[in-house]
Chain A
Amino acid sequence: MDLYPLLNSLRIAAISATVVFFLGIAAAYYIAKCPRIIKGILDVIFTLPLVLPPTVVGYLLMLLFGPRRPVGAFFLDTFGVKLTMQWWSAILAVTVIVFPLMYRTARGAFESFNEDLASAGRTLGLSNTYIFWRIRIPACKQGIIAGVVLSFARALGEYGATSMIAGYTPGKTATVSTAVYNLWRTGNDELAFKWVLINIAISAVVLLCINLVEKPYKRRSG
């Protein structure tokens, strides 16, 4: 059995979760400082990929990154790189789809942060960078870890936008979820079933991780 789809899914999910970790935290942190109207608009935009069908997100991404579309054509002409139908094209799709999960959980964690801690740090002469990384992030650690694990889990299962921007090429762009669909479609039920089992196993492990992360959090607050 060719394990390429598993490897591909794992690396796409890992890279996307890492990217989204930084982007989500940055978005959650800076949006709190925006004026109310801008905050409202940005919050809608940032959360939209969560509620839109993944095919709609895929369609919009193709409008941007397709080989004859503005960004796609630019990269093709200047660097000779095609942005779609590569294994890493899926990272674009998955990052957009998963971003709201990280952004929302990080924002929730930041909102429950006691701002007096940051003020205390400032009166003690601590720099804003020190306060952010050594006080704010550790205090919001539980929420942020939960956000990353959740993002990773969702990234592993992404199908709609991925299949539009990266397609399904065995050994090249195949992921676990696209493999299941395409094996089933071509009547290879036995192999499809194996991938289904693998998928269930991975998801169960990830959910177990989320529970392990969340438990001490609840115990402390309750």
Chain B
Amino acid sequence: MLYADFEKQLDLFTLRVHIEWDQGVFSLFGASGAGKSMTLKCIAGIEKPDRGVIRLDDKVLFDSAKHVNLPPQKRGVGYLFQDYALFPNMTVAGNIKAGLHRLPRRQRDLKAAEFMERFRITELADTKPARLSGGEKQRVALARIFASEPQVLLLDEPFSSLDTFLKWELIPYMKEALQSFSGCSIMVSHDLDEVLSLCDSVSVIQKGVTEPAVDSGAFSEQIKEKLQHAGLYFDKGIIKHD
């Protein structure tokens, strides 16, 4: 169970986030620059909120009143960056092993091999990130995160650097990965297709303020109604003209 309730003053507006989420995929849906990435960075501990509380189950990650602010290393979050943030000087295998560097060598090698197998990137083991395609990078980044065994997954616009065609190939793959994950996931996106095909619950974020979350089915209905007023209709996540 992730509980986040915090505020942070930004240049253009104040970020006011309220998220309570147990299991499955939660989505923050909003325009670019609405504070989505900043929200994830605050949960991960990369940025510090001005005040508020972030809790993961019973573990307090951040509490301004009690002066608790755990570093990202101790928060147990897996963060999928927009550009995947693979370490350019390491191979695919090296990237995955980096997150396991505390394990003894043999165990580390076995675990890295296991996760490369699971994410179907074994044949890329000795390749440097610069030579990977966008989709491959995403798989390597996911393997690296899953191998480090986080309790929460944070996904920052996971498909924004891929073209639409590739995105449709990768969404089922991502869905499978997310379903196999036992903790909770938070995905931020400005893309309706992604949100409706991957997420269980949606909260709209506007100028840094999160609205109460709704079930993604209900959210899809809301969108449908809005579009009908404009003479458009909406089918399985794809907007079409009448």
Contact = CB atoms under 8 A, between A and B. Distances in A.
Nearest to A141: B89
A125 B148 contact: yes
B78 interface: yes
Interface in A108-136: 114, 116-117, 119-127, 130, 134-135
Chain A binding surface SS class:
helix
B72 interface: yes
For chain A, give the interface size range. 10 to 19
Interface string B63-81: 0000000011101011101
B31 interface: no
Contacts, number: 61
A116 B85 contact: yes
Interface in B42-91: 44-46, 71-73, 75, 77-79, 81-83, 85, 87-89
Contact of A127 (B73, B85, B89): B73
Contacts of B89: 135, 138-139, 141
A170 to B, nearest CB: 47
B55 to A, nearest CB: 18
Nearest to A117: B85
A116 B129 CA distance: 15
B101 A123 contact: no
Interface string A126-168: 1100100011001101000000000000000000000000000
Contacts of B41: 119
B73 A122 contact: yes
B102 interface: yes
Nearest to A137: B89
Contact of B44 (A123, A125, A134, A135): A123
B135 interface: no
Interface in B130-170: 130, 144-145, 148, 150
B99 interface: yes
Interface string A80-109: 000000000000000000000000000000
29 contacts: A114-B85, A116-B81, A116-B82, A116-B83, A117-B85, A119-B41, A119-B72, A119-B79, A119-B85, A120-B79, A120-B81, A120-B85, A121-B98, A122-B71, A122-B72, A122-B73, A123-B46, A123-B75, A123-B78, A124-B98, A124-B144, A124-B145, A124-B148, A125-B99, A125-B102, A134-B98, A135-B89, A139-B87, A139-B89
Interface of A: 114, 116-117, 119-127, 130, 134-135, 138-139, 141, 220
Given A116-B85, A120-B85, 15 more contacts: A114-B85, A116-B82, A117-B87, A117-B88, A119-B46, A122-B46, A122-B71, A123-B73, A123-B77, A123-B150, A125-B73, A125-B102, A130-B101, A139-B89, A220-B130
